[in-house]
Amino acid sequence: MMDHARYRSAIMADPRDPGAELRAHRESCPECLAYSERLLKFDARIERALRVDMPGAADVLPFARKPQSLAGARRWLAIAASVLLGAAIVGGIWLTLPQRSLAAAVVAHMAGEPDAWQRTDIAVDAPALQDVLKDSNLRLKPAAGIVSYASSCPFRGHRVPHLVVQTPKGPVTVMVLVHEPLRKSMQFEEQGYRGTLVPVPGHGSLAVLMQDSGVSAAEIARIAAQVDDSIVWTR
Amino acid sequence: MNDQVGGKQRRARFQALCQSLRPDLLRFAFWLSRDRALAEDVVQESMLRAWKAQDSLLNEAAAKPWLLTIVRREYARTFERKRLTTVDVDELIAKEEPTLAAAEEQDIADVRAAIMKLPDEYREPLVLQVLMGYSTAEIAHELELSGPAVLTRLCRARRQLRAACGEDTTLDPQE
């Protein structure tokens, strides 16, 4: 036999879906009926409170690659490496950083975007690239080469440009981390990726990495220097 | 060539699915983490995991619970990675306040603040029930709890919310 206390416990757990026994009690008990109605009103408030506004939530695609024709695409940097920056990076030591480090976070991010690593000569279209770069206040010199992937990715609480640039040595991923200042360059080798983190004074840092395909640390450092050199900061 | 076309179609279908469900996934992740930035990270990572595991989704109609489960697991992984042992709830509420004040009346803002203060074990089943439309049995399955345990948590969640929001609780069931 259903009593008031049992009814109220049950209805409080699920005010919208009372079973037959609860409905029968409610119909015979004006006090519990009134109680149910108050609970339902409160539940409507809970639902409204839970339905937080998520502006632009449906606008972000899981992949943001926008291929276009070869027109306008340029070959990877022909300019010689910035010896100074390169030397500074090569002077660093290989580090296996702890899991929570910036390098580990970058590598973890890579693992989720396997499609970005394709070798291709198809560049993303310029407006799409510009869109990804604009919030970080930068643009790329045309000499930067073929940017085959550009996505604005969530990373440690910020949206950051995630680019893939095609080089003669293979695809290179660049993440522009304006919110991650670094004091010095660091090189890392983790989970099949080899890369470097480069401080960019006043603009956080860059992560530059490749899938480990025999490219030396010095070569990655040289590529990172070229990437750094091809960035024009607009603010 | 056919493989390429098939791959593109698969990708387009997956993108459409993600786009339609993303707002709800974000809300769910937000209520797990109570942090918009973290929720976005979790959902983005979840979608990528879902893409890689899409063969395990046998029925597209079941995509939402399938994705919600992935989001829950991804959040748990994030939690483990970041070792988020303490959370300053007042700080989280303050962070949300400008959004609330701009878009919602104070009444809803108060309920939202009270939900934020609910313990995780009460908040999560409540979100699944009220926002995601899960039945008690589905919540029990998702959270690996018994049905009575879910009902107890839901009852406690509402009781705490009602008290926090100044509702008349004299008729509310006691422990």
Inter-chain touch B130–A42, beta carbons under 8 Å: no
pLDDT at B5: 61
- Among A22-31, A103-112, A181-190, B85-94, which stretch is predicted with the lowest mean pLDDT? B85-94
Smallest Cβ–Cβ distance between A99 and the set B19, B81, B131 belongs to B81
Inter-chain touch B173–A35, beta carbons under 8 Å: no
Which residues are CB-contacts of B21 (< 8 A; sequence separation ≥ 6)?
Answer: B63, B64, B67
Nearest to A172 by CA among A221, A232, A101, A100: A221
3-state secondary structure of B97: helix
For residue A119, count other CB atoms closer than 10 A to its CB.
9
Give B25-80 pLDDT, tens digit per residue: 999 999 998 888 889 889 988 988 888 888 788 777 788 999 999 999 999 888 76
Distance from CA of B156 to the nearest CA of A (A): 8
Smallest Cβ–Cβ distance between B26 and the set A10, A57, A63 belongs to A57
| Test the B interface: residue of A37, A43, A46 with most B CBs within 10 Å | A46
**Residue A77 pLDDT greater than 60, yes or no:** no
Rg (CA), chain A: 27
Smallest Cβ–Cβ distance between B30 and the set A52, A63, A155 belongs to A52
Contacts of B37 in chain A (CB under 8 A): 154, 157-158
CATH code of the domain containing B12: 1.10.1740
**CA-nearest residue of chain B to A52?**
B27
* Alpha carbon distance A27, A193 (integer Å): 67
Distance from CA of A161 to the nearest CA of B (A): 14
CA distances from A31 to A5, A7, A9, A35, A81 (A): 12, 11, 14, 6, 81
- Among A2-6, A50-54, A95-99, B133-137, which stretch is predicted with the lowest mean pLDDT? A95-99
pLDDT at B89: 65
**Residue A69 pLDDT greater than 50, yes or no:** no
Strands A138-140 and A231-233: antiparallel
Residue B53 lies in a domain: yes
Choice between A11 and A140, residue whose per-residue pLDDT is larger: A11
Instruction: Work out how many domains chain B is built from and give that number.
Output: 1
Domain containing residue B58:
1-85
Choice between B158 and A211, residue whose per-residue pLDDT is larger: B158
Q: What is the residue extent of each domain of chain A?
A: 4-50, 83-233
3-state secondary structure of A230: helix
- Residues of A with a Cβ under 8 Å from any B Cβ are 5, 8-10, 12-15, 17, 31, 35, 38-39, 42-43, 45-54, 57-63, 99-100, 112-114, 153-158
Indicate the pTM of the whole model: 0.54
Q: How large is the ipTM?
A: 0.84
Choice between B96 and B151, residue whose per-residue pLDDT is larger: B151
CA distances from A124 to A102, A140, B35, B90 (A): 27, 13, 32, 43
In single-letter form, the type of residue at position B115 comes to I
Q: What is the CATH number of domain A83-233?
A: 3.40.1000
Residue B145 lies in a domain: no
Inter-chain touch A112–B158, beta carbons under 8 Å: no
Give A5-57 pLDDT, tens digit per residue: 899 999 999 998 788 888 899 889 999 999 999 999 999 999 999 988 877 66
pLDDT at A74: 42
**CA-nearest residue of chain A to B168?**
A38
| A36 torsion bin: left (phi>0), alpha (psi -120 to 50), beta (else) | alpha
CA distances from A169 to A77, A192, A210, A215 (A): 12, 16, 9, 7
Burial class (CB in 10 A: 0-12, 13-18, 19+), B65: middle
Smallest Cβ–Cβ distance between B130 and the set A43, A53, A113 belongs to A43
B166 touches chain A (CB under 8 A): no
Smallest Cβ–Cβ distance between B51 and the set A49, A62, A153 belongs to A62
Give B7-30 pLDDT, tens digit per residue: 777 777 888 888 788 889 999 999
pLDDT at A107: 81
pLDDT at A152: 84
Contacts of A61 in chain B (CB under 8 A): 15, 18-19
Task: Give me chain B's average pLDDT, please.
Answer: 83
Residue B14 lies in a domain: yes
Contacts of B124 in chain A (CB under 8 A): none
- Residue pairs spanning A and B at CB distance below 8 A: 124
